[in-house]
Structure 1
Amino acid sequence: MDKNNSLKIAFPPIIHQDCTVLLLGTMPGERSLQLGQYYGHAGNHFWKLIYGLFNLQPSLEYTERTSFLLGHGIALWDVLESCTCVGSLDSQIRNATVNDFARFYLAYPNLKHIFFDSKKAEEFYRKQVGFSADKSYHLLPSPSRANAGKTFEQKLEAWQELLLYI
């Protein structure tokens, strides 16, 4: 496949049976895929936002970050299982295949509150998976540095909604 339009495969979910909140992105960006870590790009505010909800600084260790999420009942995954994409912008996604949410929700029945961290993630989910009456759905401002329309403080204020469900 052409390097400029490469096939991207998402990571497996970070989850355990007690999680009640699911944070969904669209697809890991280039840097995240290189590192094998969700939200690996240093300019992405995701981890700073998660820790900021508790007035803490993010750990530098990825395993500590993921344990922190799970310790608060928050699971992490992406809407897409695979796609082709030039670069990391959601607007460049083509040939998208969504993850198998029917099977996922059967395996993790405690997930009741679904948060999307981008409009594109919410759009793919709504169109290809659909909303169900037994879950609540919420759209957060993107933590990406490409979302320059909001300051970090504005993003953190909006992300405070997560605290209502954990």
Structure 2
Amino acid sequence: MPRSKPPASNLASESLTGLAPVVSPATRVLILGSFPGVRSLELQQYYAHPQNQFWRILEAIWPSSAHGISASSYENRSKWLLERGLGVWDVYASCERSGSLDSAIRNAVPNNIAALQLPHLGAIAHNGGESFKHARHTQTLGVPVYQLPSTSPANARWSFERKLAAWREVMQRCGLV
């Protein structure tokens, strides 16, 4: 007799802590994800899953070296990101989750985004819907807030080209392109 799958509520979820922000005093646009996926937590690197299109999209907006920034070390990618006036963090500091899907996030504790004190911050861009659920909080910082399509491989409804166009438009509005 085949065994049935246990209900989702019976699946164990892990208590997880997110990554430190990648920002500088020169950060003009803060890109906020929801919470790092399993691969990103393992490597302690934002957007580390090879199918995540984050680094590819940014490189398409700001073409880089012959080998591409996505093939560079994380340290070089982070420096490259900061040189363009971008910063990265997540809306959640910690949560319980099994796997990498936003829909599995439970008992999330938000990050204190205002505490970053970014003197040149001109906009916040939420990478995906789960992050954008916190727009009412980020709007209190007094800068424009945008919702971007998620770069996650789970967002298969949007083609790379469509995601790229949306991301490029926001970066143009922010004066970075």
TM-score, structure 1 length as denominator?
0.90
Contact 1:81 1:97 in 2 (8 A): yes
**Cα separation, 2, equivalents of 1:64 and 1:121:** 26
Which residue in the other structure is 1:21 paired with?
29
Shift in Å, 1:130: 4.8
2:171 is aligned with 1:162: yes
- Secondary structure at the residue paired with 1:115? strand
* Stretch of structure 1 that moved more, 130-139 or 144-153: 130-139
2:119 maps to what in 1? 109
Q: CA RMSD in A?
A: 1.7
Specify the alignment match of 1:70 in structure 2.
Answer: 82
Distance 2:54 2:11 in 1: 27
8 Å contact kept, 1:53–1:163 = no
| Cα distance in structure 2, aligned partners of 1:72 and 1:24 | 16
Map 1:74-89 to 2 at 5 A. Answer: 74-89=86-101
- Compute the displacement of 1:77 (Å): 0.4
- Looking at structure 1, the residues matched to 101 and 141 of structure 2 have their Cα atoms a distance apart, in angstroms, of 31
User: For the Cα contact (< 8 Å) 1:31–1:40, is it kept in 2?
Assistant: yes
Give, as a single letter, the amino acid of the residue that structure 1 aligns with 2:158: K
Whether the 8 Å contact between 2:23 and 2:87 is mirrored in structure 1 is yes
1:126 shift after superposition: 3.1
Report the Cα offset of residue 3 of structure 1.
8.8
Give the partner amino acid of 1:72. R
| One-letter amino acid of the structure 1 residue matched with residue 22 of structure 2 | I
Larger Rg: 2
Q: Which runs of 5+ in 2 are unaligned?
A: 1-9
Q: Whole-Å Cα distance in 2 between the matches of residues 38 and 130 of structure 1?
A: 20
How far the C-alpha of 1:134 sits from its partner, in A, is 2.0
SS of residue paired to 2:25: coil
Could you report, residue by residue, the CA deviation over 1:43-100 in whole angstroms, capped at 9, with x for unpaired residues?
Answer: 1000001111123433421111111110011011000000001110001100010011
Task: Determine helix, strand or coil for the equivalent of 1:83.
Answer: strand
C-alpha contact (below 8 Å) 2:114/2:141 kept by paired residues: no
Return 5+ residue gaps in structure 1 as ranges.
none
Instruction: Go from structure 1 to structure 2 and tell me whether the alpha carbon gap of 1:130 and 1:55 turns closer, same or farther (over 3 Å shift).
Output: closer
Aligned structure 1 segments of 4 or more residues deviating by more than 3 angstroms: none
Q: Which residue of 1 aligns with 2:69?
A: 58
Matches of residues 4-15 of structure 1 in structure 2 within 5 Å? Answer: 4-15=12-23
Following superposition, the deviation at residue 140 of structure 1 comes to 0.6
- How far does residue 132 in structure 1 lie from its aligned partner after superposition? 2.2
Distance 1:152 1:58 in 2: 17
- Count the aligned residue pairs: 161
Cα deviation, 1:13-52, whole Å, max 9, x if unaligned, reads: 1011011110000000001100110000001000001111
TM-score normalised by the chain length of structure 2: 0.85
